[in-house]
């Protein structure tokens, strides 16, 4: 019995030693190709076109970090959102703003502030369709996967070279690290990937959480309160 306990203890130490932490840095941006498409479009009026371009002018690239290991990941944007800043950068909000996105046991929870109250929201899993198309992105051999929400298509390029099923923001669940995500409003691109010695960052306690449907009800109730509706 003593020998069995000793063997289990040694195995536990070895597992701990070989469990490595990593950190990936992503750039989130609105592609220039889409801006050019708006400029040359003949489907929208010049007035509306100029309105779009004024908003997009301040949409500078933002950067975010994804810490991960075999059991968990946590993602957050490096820049903080300044609501009173005249040069409002919408990309910060689209990339996750001041919130955290935490994955544990293949389930994503994200932090959200509603009416000055903080919640953890359990995110509904996204269905992916893995394609045969492949290409090299950021030095990694990547495969394409797509996900649809109505007419909106999201493309994700993931690599089996890094067998961790994480990615930036709310994108995860593929058999490898997501290197690039192309959404209708934002693109995420992996710029750096390396080992990390930060263990404390995974110490996230989620005692209570709400569902996506409960979040919508809270938001709806908050909007009624703002406009004085019963």
Please give the Cα distance from 44 to 53 (Å, whole number). 12
- What's the mean pLDDT when you consider all of the chain? 83
Residues paired with residue 180 on neighbouring β-strands, in sequence order? 157, 189
Does 66 fall in a domain? yes
DSSP 142: E
Residue 30 lies inside a defined structural domain of this protein: yes
* b/e sequence 146-169, b meaning 16+ C-beta within 10 Å: ebeeeeeebebbbbeebebbbbbb
pLDDT at 183 over 90: yes
CATH number at residue 190: 2.50.20
Rounded average pLDDT over 145-170: 94
When comparing pLDDT for 91 and 25, which is higher?
25
Would residue 5 count as lying in a domain?
Answer: no
Whether 14 maps to a domain, the answer reads: no
- The answer to the question of residue 2 being in a domain is no
Determine how many CB atoms are found less than 10 A away from the CB of residue 26: 29
Flag whether 208 is in a domain.
Answer: yes
Q: Does a structural domain hold residue 167?
A: yes
pLDDT the model gives residue 86: 52
Give me the count of residues in the chain: 230
Q: Whole-structure pTM over 0.85, yes or no? A: no
**Better-scored residue on pLDDT, 44 or 109:** 109
**Residue 92's domain spans which residues?**
20-226
What tens digit of pLDDT does each residue of 201-218 get? 999 989 899 999 999 998
Q: How far is CA 225 from CA 7, 116, 212, 222, in A?
A: 61, 13, 20, 5
Confidence of residue 227 (pLDDT cuts 50, 70, 90): very low
**What is the H or E stretch that residue 134 is in?**
strand 129-137
The band of 38, judged by pLDDT with boundaries at 50, 70 and 90, is low
pLDDT at position 132, please? 96
Residue 198 lies in a domain: yes
**Per residue in 109-153, pLDDT tens?**
999 888 788 899 999 889 999 999 999 999 999 999 999 987 889
Phi-psi region for residue 101, left (φ > 0), alpha (ψ -120 to 50) or beta?
A: beta
Q: Which residue has the higher pLDDT, 148 or 8?
A: 148
Residue 226 confidence (pLDDT): 47
- The residues that bridge with 103 in the sheet, in sequence order, are 73, 108
**161 band by pLDDT with thresholds 50, 70 and 90:** very high
Mean pLDDT of 185-204: 93
Q: Write the DSSP assignment of 173-227 as a string of letters.
A: -SSSEEEEEE-SS-EEEEEEEEEE---GGG----S--B-HHHHHHHHHHHHHHHT
CA 144 to chain CA centroid, nearest Å: 17
Average pLDDT over residues 23-48: 77
CA gap 103, 173 in Å, rounded: 10
Q: Is residue 9's pLDDT more than 50?
A: no
Q: How confident is the model at residue 80 (pLDDT cuts 50, 70, 90)?
A: low
Token pair 């005692």 in the structure block, residue? 207
Domain count, the chain: 1
């Amino acid at each position: 019995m003593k020998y069995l306990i000793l063997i289990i203890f040694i195995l536990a130490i070895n597992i701990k030693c070989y469990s490595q932490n990593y950190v990936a840095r992503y750039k989130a941006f609105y592609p220039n190709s889409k801006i050019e498409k708006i400029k040359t479009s003949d489907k929208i009026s010049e007035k509306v076109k100029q309105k779009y371009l004024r908003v997009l002018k301040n949409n500078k690239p933002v950067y975010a970090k994804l810490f991960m290991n075999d059991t968990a990941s946590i993602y957050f944007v490096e820049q903080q959102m300044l609501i009173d800043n005249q040069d409002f950068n919408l990309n910060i909000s689209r990339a996750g703003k001041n919130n955290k996105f935490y994955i544990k046991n293949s389930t994503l929870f994200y932090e959200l502030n509603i009416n000055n109250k903080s919640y953890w929201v359990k995110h509904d899993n996204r269905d992916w369709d893995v394609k045969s198309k492949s290409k090299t992105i950021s030095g990694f051999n990547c495969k394409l996967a797509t996900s649809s929400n109505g007419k909106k298509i999201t493309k994700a390029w993931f690599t089996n070279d890094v067998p961790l099923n994480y990615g930036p923001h709310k994108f995860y669940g593929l058999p490898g690290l997501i290197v690039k995500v192309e959404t209708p409003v934002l693109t995420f691109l992996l710029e750096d990937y390396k080992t990390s010695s930060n263990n404390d960052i995974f110490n996230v306690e989620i005692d209570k959480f709400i569902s996506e449907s409960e979040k919508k009800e809270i938001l709806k109730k908050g909007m009624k309160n703002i406009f004085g509706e019963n």
